[in-house]
A and B are shown apart, each in its own frame.
Chain A
Amino acid sequence: MRGDGLYFVEGALPETPTGGAQAEAWQTTRVVGTRQPRIDAYERVSGTAVYPSDVVLPDMLYGAILRCPHPHAKVKKVDLASARSVPGVRAVLAGDSPEADLRWYYTRQVFTRLFDATCRFEGEAVAAVAAETPQQARDALRAIRVEYEVLPFVVEEGRALASDAPKIAEGGNRVGEPEVYTRGDVAKGFSEADTVVERTYRTAAEIHSPMELHGCVARWDGPKLTIWETTQGVYPVQQRVASLLDIPLSRVRVIGHYMGGGFGSKLSADKYHLVAAVLARLTARPVKLFLSREETFRCVGNRPPATMRLKAGVKKDGTLTALEMDVVGASGGYPAGGASLVDWLVRDLYLCPNVKCTSTDVLTTTGPARAFRAPGHPQGAWALEQLVDELATAIGMDPVALRVKNVPALSQGRDDLPYSTTGLKQCLEEGARAFGWEEARRRAPGRGPWKRGVGMAAGTWVAGAGGPPSTVIVKLGADGSANLNMGASDIGTGTKTVMAMVVAEELGVPLDRIHVEHADTGTTQYATASGGSKTVPTESPATRAAALEVKRQVLDLAAEELKLPVAELRLQDGVVTSLKDPALKKPLAELGGLRRRGVVVGVGTRAPNPEDLATCPFAAQFCEVEVNERTGEVRVLRFLAAQDSGRVMNRLTYDNQVIGGITMGIGLALTEARVLDGAQTGRLVSGNFHDYKLPTMLDVPADITSLPVELPDHRANSTGAKGLGEPVTIPTAAAVANAVFAATGVRVTDSPISPARLLPLLAAARKEG
């Protein structure tokens, strides 16, 4: 299914053995679906949780990387001599150091060197040092002399293909041929329309900015390398580090128990892993290497900017007749899917027989893009959902009604594969009702400079089904407490807690008696990176299978001891009871068989997804804003998110994902933009949190309502869950833009809707009006 491969950076989806009991769908649940504080909340609020950046090892050195200050340059000469004599310095490396003579790839299409002579973006690694303190390491970086041949740059995606644009790669600045998707005949579709609207939109590049900086601690014990890494996936990091250092997988252990956010920027290994490993080997001491915040703005990924021309045709009754989209997105210095999935909503969200999408990915002299929470989708929604709003106004139809009329039953983007479930219609209708959409729309914008308006938008997420591979082990101890072992990272979404709840559901073991071991390639099971909103639908069925396997063995033991047939027994709240005679029972801790064995082990794997169904989450979001027509300031007053992500596993962390996604979407809508000096230097000018504005508590409403449209997806997998983390941020920015339009009558086509952008548009509108 399209989207499955999205987060598997290293090629095709691996196979897992099928297995584990094929579970029946849950009819009722006792633990799953309730509001449960996290099982690791204590560690996180007490300060005892050890994040990779907290790791301090005996005799540890600190590493730092010298980065190219130019957007495009050739490294002519690196003089390390004076850096070597800086107090505290223990190792220095550059391109010609034999130890650093390693291959590197941003994508497998293009292999470069760890310290390559060509720098295609500001922030490319040029040299590195290790010193006794991080301050001394920075001193040493300042002492390194580099001679650059500065090359011409191009930083805007719209300029990359111009005939006079400097060539970044041998073959030119276009990454492959444009990707063209067609169904039906758009020319015919437009000729059948009563109204045709066309506009060009742009979303600015965003920086992931997880609060924990990117970095790791590396230590060698002879031939064995251990890396403490703030990552979304310990296994992808292990795989890439082992292959680039050319050592066996079994000699690289990656540990990432806690991690301070990633949002797609920490899915795999980075150059800094290799640098830390090489510095540690060279000095025979552990090396801690964390990037500075300024570095993370330049070289650990971004949501690529997108320029989107969109044209749509609609009949008076609201029937969509044609959609046509041209996308230009920027990968950055190396191919990185710069235009990837921006057109997906145009292909799949609404019923439309005639669709054509052309996506062009270009190289620019900027940091390579990385997957960023729902890659492509918020950008596409920004265009599509604003244009659909405009169509509704043009034909005098309510925007919700127009969308409801065009809800598809089949996934048109996948050749009409049926959805396993779709709650899009319910999201739209129930969301509108709970928000008070119709009343709110009728309210006048108000007098005085502050004008109010409401807006909404919908979305779907291409992935979110999860799938193999995943192996989870559940161990039940003699005292009836349990241990769950899985490789997946908990990136803040509450994965550990959800999985413990699944075990509690099946075995009746209370949550406080379940310990979760995870995210360690040395001790836990293989898992793919946590991303793509696939962790819960991937890991929860595997966890359930493991728990059911434990249950099967426990019931066998109990049947023997109680001398009753297995079919007559059930396990609930930690007690095995006869269904016929409830007086016949045995608490787990009293099972002789379990005591003698010491432990019962159940292994569960993730069964494959059904081949003939598309499993996707859906969303509709509604908001109310206030716009000051004199200052251009926008305040978001309230938000409501109606989400169909299948079964709600933990209502408390579910709601948290919703508010987090909306907060991030408000950033895209109103405040976040990577700003580059395209005129003179090509350098980043928004490289810190003052100039790159993340939403603070004052920028988002406290009033955010999470309204789950709960349709357990039993055909998709054994827990009925679909992904949540990404769909919650897909429609958000577009909903804000539509609300700004409702309040002011002004369409802002370029993100973010900052006062600087909005004021001239308001002034122009006043002139016209």
Chain B
Amino acid sequence: MSDDNVTRHLTRRGFLTTVGVGAAGVAALGPTPAEAAPPAVTEEGDMLRVVLKVNGREHRLLVEPRWTLLFVLRERLGLTGSKAGCERGECGACTVLVDGVPRYACMTLAAEAQGHEITTVEGLMDGEQLGPVQKAFAEHDAFQCGYCTPGQIMAAEGLLRATPAPGREEVRLGMSGNICRCGAYAHIVQAVEKAAGLRQGGGR
């Protein structure tokens, strides 16, 4: 297999990332930095050596090229805060931040995530203390079953990092890539608006 093959292998899913996204319009990851390029020759079924930086900590692991970031986070690193709702880029339960921007971890290959800063819901904690978005979600009861919640929180965190004081419509648009079947949307809007205030007041 040549270099080309490997690239195709990775970008095929990269392509899927762009066609498979929900209403949030998550863009494909930028080009993988050169230093993070996978080994030149990969046999089918071979494992890739990757270093993933998650919540500020580096993890060295062997991954299959087809493993998603979500799979590695949940089933290999024990970071089960990120949830699997559809594994096809349609629900947002798996949302994490990659370099501060919300991404569907189910549509991101673990190998693609190398060289990027990954933040999961666990990474919003300050020790045992909740971060401002988490606090606002708890206070406003912005969930029912709680399964979509880590993804909602990460979408909100990403939104507020880009737009610290969003208007109501910006919140609705920014959160529309995350489905809540329990239907807690009206409370989620309140929580995001509250979180914006908490963050600005240095509520962390």
Contact among B78, B145, B153, B173 for A210, CB-based, below 8 A: B145
Contact indicator B179/A694 (Cβ below 8 Å): yes
Q: How far is the CA of A659 from the CA of B141 in the complex (A)?
A: 12
Question: Can you name the residue of chain A whose Cβ is closest to the Cβ of B80?
Answer: A54
A701 neighbours in B (Cβ, 8 Å): 186
A56 close to B146 (CB less than 8 A): no
* CB-defined contacts of A704 to chain B, threshold 8 Å: 186
Inter-chain CA distance A261–B143, complex, in Å, is: 11
Shortest C-beta distance, B148 to chain A (Å), equals: 5
- Known A-B contacts A56-B78, A689-B91, A702-B185; A212 and B172 likewise in contact (beta carbons under 8 Å): no
B187 CB to closest chain A CB, in angstroms?
Answer: 6
Stretch at the interface among A45-53, A164-172, A174-182: A45-53
Any B CB within 8 A of the CB of A653 = yes
Interface residues of A in 473-532 (CB under 8 A from B): 491-494
- B144 contact from A51, A492, A702, Cβ within 8 A: A492
In the assembled complex, how far is the CB of residue A729 from the closest CB belonging to chain B, in whole angstroms? 9
Task: Verify A659–B146 contact, CB threshold 8 A.
Answer: no
Q: Give Cα A659 to B144, complex, Å.
A: 11
Instruction: Write out the residue numbers on chain B whose beta carbons fall within 8 Å of the beta carbon of A583.
Output: none
Residues of B within 8 A of A54 (CB): 74, 80, 83
Please give, as numbers and ranges, the residues of chain A lying within 8 Å of B86 by CB-CB distance.
293, 688-689
Most chain A beta-carbon neighbours within 10 Å: one of B64, B71, B134, B183? B183
A56-B80, A660-B184 known; A211+B179 contact, CB < 8 A: yes
Asked if A292 meets B184 with Cβ closer than 8 Å, knowing A134-B71, A653-B141, A696-B176, the reply is no
Contacts of A49 in B (CB 8 A): 146
Residues of chain B lying within 8 A (CB to CB) of residue A445: none
Q: Smallest CB-CB separation from B121: which chain A residue?
A: A47
B104, chain A: closest CB distance, angstroms: 12
Roughly how many angstroms separate A575 CA and B130 CA in the complex, as a whole number? 32
**B173: A residues at CB distance < 8 A:** 698
Query: Does any Cβ of B come within 8 Å of A258's Cβ?
Result: yes
Residues of B within 8 A of A134 (CB): 71, 75
Q: How many residues does chain B have at the interface if contact means C-beta atoms less than 8 Å apart?
A: 61
CA A704 – CA B66 in complex, angstroms? 43
Q: Assess whether B88 is in contact with A688, with CB atoms less than 8 Å apart.
A: yes
Q: Chain B contacts of A133 at CB under 8 A?
A: 64
Given A47-B122, A659-B185, A689–B23 Cβ distance below 8 Å? Answer: no
Q: B172: which A residues are within 8 A, CB to CB?
A: 697-698, 702
In the complex, what distance in Å separates the CA atom of A695 from the CA atom of B22? 12
Classify the interface of chain A: helix, strand, loop or mixed: loop
Q: Which of A34-42, A109-117, A536-544, A758-766 contacts B (4 or more CB under 8 A)?
A: A34-42
Q: Looking at the complex, which one of B75, B93, B176, B189 makes contact with A702 (CB distance below 8 Å)?
A: B189
**With known contacts A135-B64, A211-B147, A690-B90, A38–B189 Cβ distance under 8 A:** no
Task: List residues 634-681 of chain A with CB under 8 A from any CB of chain B.
Answer: 652-653, 655-657, 659-664
Cβ of B148: which chain A residues have Cβ within 8 Å of it?
A: 211, 260
The one of B23, B88, B137 in contact with A45, judged by C-beta atoms closer than 8 angstroms, is B137
List B contacts of A661 (CB < 8 A). 183
Judging by beta carbons under 8 Å apart, are A656 and B184 in contact?
yes
In the bound complex, do residue B85 and residue A697 qualify as a contact, i.e. CB atoms below 8 Å apart? no
Known contacts A134-B71, A213-B84, A258-B146; is-contact A46 B90 (Cβ 8 Å): no
Residues of A contacting B121 with CB < 8 Å?
Answer: 45-47
| Interface residue ranges of B118-161 to A (CB < 8 Å) | 120-122, 125, 130, 134-135, 137-139, 141, 143-150, 153
A44-B149, A664-B183 as given contacts; A50 in contact with B80, CB under 8 Å: yes
* CB of A263 within 8 Å of the partner chain: yes
Known: A53-B83, A211-B148, A688-B88. A700 touches B179 (CB 8 A): no
Give complex CA distance A702, B184 in Å.
Answer: 10
- Please determine whether B182 and A261 come into contact, CB atoms closer than 8 angstroms: yes
Chain A, residues 122-159, CB within 8 Å of chain B (1/0): the string is: 00000000000111000000000000000000000000
Asked whether B180 is an interface residue with its Cβ less than 8 Å from the other chain, the reply is: yes
Indicate whether A5 reaches chain B with its CB closer than 8 angstroms: no
The complex places the Cα of A661 from the Cα of B185 at a distance, in Å, of 11
- The complex places the Cα of A263 from the Cα of B135 at a distance, in Å, of 27
Contacts of B180 in A (CB 8 A): 211, 663, 697
Q: Would you give the 0/1 interface string for A698-710, flagging 1 where the beta carbon is closer than 8 Å to chain B?
A: 1011111000000
Interface contact B87-A659, CB-CB below 8 Å: no
Knowing A211-B148, A698-B172 are in contact, say whether A46-B122 is a contact too (CB < 8 A). yes
Cα–Cα, bound, A703→B189 (Å): 10
Measured CB to CB, the nearest residue on chain A to B153 is A45
Cβ contact within 8 Å between B183 and A663: yes
CB of B80 to closest CB in A, whole Å:
4
Distance, CA A663 to CA B186, complexed state (A): 9
Contacts of A42 in B (CB 8 A): 130, 138
Q: Tell whether B105 is near chain A: CB-to-CB under 8 Å.
A: no
B24 smallest CB distance to A (angstroms):
9
Check A280 for interface membership: any CB of B closer than 8 A: no
Cβ–Cβ contact A689 & B147, under 8 A: no
Give the residue among B22, B87, B144 with the most A Cβ atoms within 10 A: B144
B197 within 8 A of A: no
A82 to chain B: closest CB distance in Å?
16
Task: Provide the residues of chain A in CB contact with B153, threshold 8 Å.
Answer: 45
A209: interface (CB < 8 Å): yes
What A residues does B150 contact at CB under 8 A? 45, 47
- A639 nearest in chain B by CB position: B186
Whether the Cβ atoms of A51 and B83 lie closer than 8 Å is: yes
A210 to B179, CA, bound (A): 10
Residues of B37-72 at the interface with A, using a CB-CB cut-off of 8 Å, are 45, 64, 66-67, 71
Interface residues of B in 154-181 (CB under 8 A from A): 168, 172-173, 175-181
Do A56 and B185 have beta carbons less than 8 Å apart?
no
B6 on interface, CB distance cutoff 8 Å: no
Check if B81 sits within 8 Å of A261, measured CB to CB. no
- The interface of chain B, by Cβ under 8 A from chain A, is 22-23, 45, 64, 66-67, 71, 74-75, 78-88, 90-91, 93, 120-122, 125, 130, 134-135, 137-139, 141, 143-150, 153, 168, 172-173, 175-189
6 tightest A-B CB contacts, nearest first: A47-B81, A260-B147, A663-B183, A492-B145, A492-B144, A44-B146
Question: Can you list 13 contacts pairing A with B, beta carbon distance less than 8 Å?
Answer: A45-B130, A50-B80, A51-B83, A210-B147, A212-B83, A492-B143, A493-B144, A652-B141, A655-B141, A661-B183, A664-B183, A696-B179, A700-B186
A41-B137, A689-B179 are known; give 18 further A-B pairs, CB within 8 A. Answer: A87-B45, A210-B145, A211-B83, A211-B147, A213-B84, A260-B83, A261-B144, A263-B181, A290-B84, A293-B90, A492-B144, A660-B144, A663-B180, A663-B183, A663-B185, A663-B186, A664-B181, A696-B178
